[in-house]
């Protein structure tokens, strides 16, 4: 049984809990609220190693859907959105056998008004396109090779030659280059150009955006080991300038590279993760395609940040960051102040071995709050994390009720009129009640025991002013004896002898309530009888 009361008079709710097995009661005080997340998980598959997630209303039913890669089975699994922001597993779409799909992008690459999926295949060294169909499904995959020895990890989309068709570019980790697939506007991407990035750059991620406000798409690519970023400025014809490199306090790979205006100056900035030293590197854009010296946001080397998403996560109209940390199985949230500075504000653990990887945010249930969608690389799940505030108590006190009383119930009241909260506990196995008188510091006196009678087994206790004399009285429901006991309070830490009332043979009363059931101005008692499945009404 749990009772809520302000025991220590600090205007915060405290909890009183009976512990049947340990013969004690706990009093939890010092309330505060702690940001937490609820998890709803959806199985992707054994050995699926999901590393990418995209969110969109594929079937146009007004509910957001999700698509996740299954690295092990070489498929993409669609989860259809249903009511209240939940999902059901939908259709899996095969890519190429043994292709090991690593990343998914969304875009309308054939200008038919439907969203298509672009899948990056690590083992097959290819990019697959699943064109969106009219009924919210997708066509069979059409694949294009990224080149021998490439091992692409991720693709980005953009109009790279200024012809109003979306092109595809892949980051090729093994060959230190990128493959650009130019779209001919007729569902064909066979025109592929490879651009060298440089020896040992080992790019895992890249992104496309207009960095110098010339209306042409530029490319930013992140190095794996050196922690640097490379910028290719586009000429608008599918070709690019030589790479300009920017570096900072960053060691390790970046699963994603993000372009966003984090300091609100209308110029795109670069954000990338640094897996080995636990930093997030930020390079503020100047607007002409160049960047200020990069600086690092420290999140901790043990965390190893993977995915980063930039969005307003606390409704203050400023860009924030959410980051998955795979080794520590955490999602962290950093709130931004609009100047490019970020503060680590939330840390959510998802459980040992989940190994968070991919991340997306969306309002799945139309409550104007974003949920976090993450993939559990370690266990093969898609998870939806919903923020809420969990109650925390800084102080816990335990009071013994005896060696073997098996406390079933407790109630509170001011038994001695000293404006302090007192407690009464029903002890079923020792056939008595314990009264703990409250002190003025949230503590209690040693329990005072009152016998209810041999084999009475009080299972429930109630407090209330039965005779309306401004003193709190006590009522117990005695399950073995088939009675209730009414104990009138004198208000001076003493009580009258109990009066017992039968609830009927084999009734086994389990609870009792107080109230004026016949509107005569007097308090009556109503019992619930477990064994006889009945109620008794006792009128005064």
Q: What is the CATH number of the domain that holds 238?
A: 2.130.10.10
Residues 189 and 143 occupy one common structural domain: yes
Boundary (domain end) residue, out of 299, 322, 349: 349
Sign, CA dihedral 285-290-293-298, equals: positive
Has residue 195 been placed in a domain? yes
Residues 191 and 288 occupy one common structural domain: no
pLDDT of residue 404: 61
pLDDT of residue 64: 97
Has residue 179 been placed in a domain? yes
What is the layout of strands, in order, in the sheet containing 473-478? 458-464, 473-478, 483-487, 499-502
Quick one: tokens of 218?
Answer: 């530029």
Q: In the predicted model, what is the mean pLDDT of residues 424-450?
A: 90
Share the mean pLDDT of the chain: 94
Residues 365 and 264 occupy one common structural domain: no
Has residue 514 been placed in a domain? no
Residues 243 and 259 occupy one common structural domain: no
Residues 115 and 185 occupy one common structural domain: yes
Residues 360 and 498 occupy one common structural domain: yes
Residues 305 and 224 occupy one common structural domain: no
Has residue 2 been placed in a domain? no
Percent with pLDDT over 90 in the chain: 84
Return d(Cα 303, Cα 63) in angstroms, integer. 34
Q: In the predicted model, what is the mean pLDDT of residues 110-124?
A: 97
Residues 317 and 443 occupy one common structural domain: no
Q: How many domains does the chain have?
A: 3
Domain that holds residue 318: 253-349
Return d(Cα 332, Cα 308) in angstroms, integer. 10
Has residue 371 been placed in a domain? yes
Banded pLDDT at 391 (limits 50, 70, 90): confident
534 forms beta bridges with: 529
Residues 265 and 136 occupy one common structural domain: no
Residues 224 and 343 occupy one common structural domain: no
Boundary (domain end) residue, out of 328, 349, 370: 349
Residue 31, pLDDT > 80, answer: no
Banded pLDDT at 43 (limits 50, 70, 90): very high
Q: In the predicted model, what is the mean pLDDT of residues 385-390?
A: 91
Question: Which is nearest to 530 in space by CA: 453, 444, 457, 432?
Answer: 457
Q: CB neighbours (10 Å) of residue 297?
A: 22
Boundary (domain end) residue, out of 214, 247, 280: 247
Has residue 540 been placed in a domain? no
Residues 116 and 222 occupy one common structural domain: yes
Q: In the predicted model, what is the mean pLDDT of residues 535-540?
A: 92
pLDDT of residue 128: 98
Residues 419 and 452 occupy one common structural domain: yes
């Amino acid at each position: 049984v749990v009772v809520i009361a302000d025991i220590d008079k600090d205007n915060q709710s405290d909890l009183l809990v009976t512990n049947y097995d340990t013969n004690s009661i706990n009093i939890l005080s010092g309330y505060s609220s702690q940001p937490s997340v609820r998890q709803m998980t959806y199985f992707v598959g054994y050995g699926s190693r999901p590393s990418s997630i995209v969110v969109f209303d594929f079937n146009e039913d007004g509910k957001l859907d999700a698509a996740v890669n299954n690295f092990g089975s070489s498929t993409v699994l669609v989860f259809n959105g249903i009511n209240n922001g939940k999902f059901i597993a939908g259709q899996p779409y095969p890519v190429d056998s043994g292709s090991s799909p690593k990343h998914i992008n969304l875009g309308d690459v054939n200008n038919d008004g439907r969203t298509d999926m672009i899948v990056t295949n690590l083992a097959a060294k290819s990019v697959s396109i699943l064109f969106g169909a009219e009924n919210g499904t997708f066509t069979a995959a059409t694949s294009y090779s990224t080149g021998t020895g490439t091992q692409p990890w991720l693709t980005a989309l953009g109009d790279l030659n200024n012809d109003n068709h979306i092109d595809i570019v892949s980051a090729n980790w093994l060959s230190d280059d990128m493959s650009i697939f130019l779209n001919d506007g007729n569902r064909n991407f066979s025109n592929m150009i490879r651009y060298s990035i440089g020896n040992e750059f080992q790019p895992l991620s890249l992104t496309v955006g207009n960095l110098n406000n010339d209306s042409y798409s530029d490319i930013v690519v992140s190095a794996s080991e050196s922690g640097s970023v490379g910028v290719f400025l586009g000429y608008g014809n599918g070709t690019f300038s030589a790479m300009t490199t920017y570096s900072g306090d960053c060691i390790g790979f970046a699963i994603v590279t993000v372009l966003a205006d984090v300091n609100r100056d209308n110029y795109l900035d670069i954000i990338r993760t640094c897996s080995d030293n636990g930093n997030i590197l930020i390079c503020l854009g100047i607007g002409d395609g160049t960047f200020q010296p990069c600086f690092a946001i420290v999140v901790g080397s043990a965390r190893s940040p993977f995915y980063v998403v930039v969005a307003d996560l606390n409704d203050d109209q400023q860009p924030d960051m959410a980051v998955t940390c795979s080794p520590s199985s955490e999602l962290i949230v950093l709130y931004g102040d609009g100047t490019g500075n970020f503060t680590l504000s939330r840390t959510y653990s998802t459980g040992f071995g989940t190994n968070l990887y991919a991340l997306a945010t969306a309002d799945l249930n139309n409550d104007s709050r974003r949920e976090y969608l993450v993939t559990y690389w370690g266990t093969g799940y898609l998870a939806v994390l919903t923020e809420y505030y969990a109650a925390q108590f800084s102080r816990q006190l335990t009071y013994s009720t005896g060696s073997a009383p098996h406390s079933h119930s407790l109630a509170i009241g001011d038994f001695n009129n000293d404006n302090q909260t007192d407690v009464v506990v029903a002890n079923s196995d020792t056939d008595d009640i314990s009264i703990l008188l409250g002190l003025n510091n949230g503590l209690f006196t040693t329990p005072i025991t009152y016998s209810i009678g041999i084999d009475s087994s009080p299972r429930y206790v109630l407090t209330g002013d039965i005779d309306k004399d401004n003193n709190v009285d006590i009522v117990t429901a005695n399950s073995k004896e088939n009675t209730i006991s009414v104990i009138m309070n004198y208000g001076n830490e003493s009580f009258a002898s109990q009066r017992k009332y039968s609830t009927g043979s084999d009734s086994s009363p389990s609870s009792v309530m107080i109230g004026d059931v016949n509107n005569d101005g007097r308090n009556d008692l109503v019992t619930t009888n477990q064994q006889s499945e009945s109620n008794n009404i006792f009128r005064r």
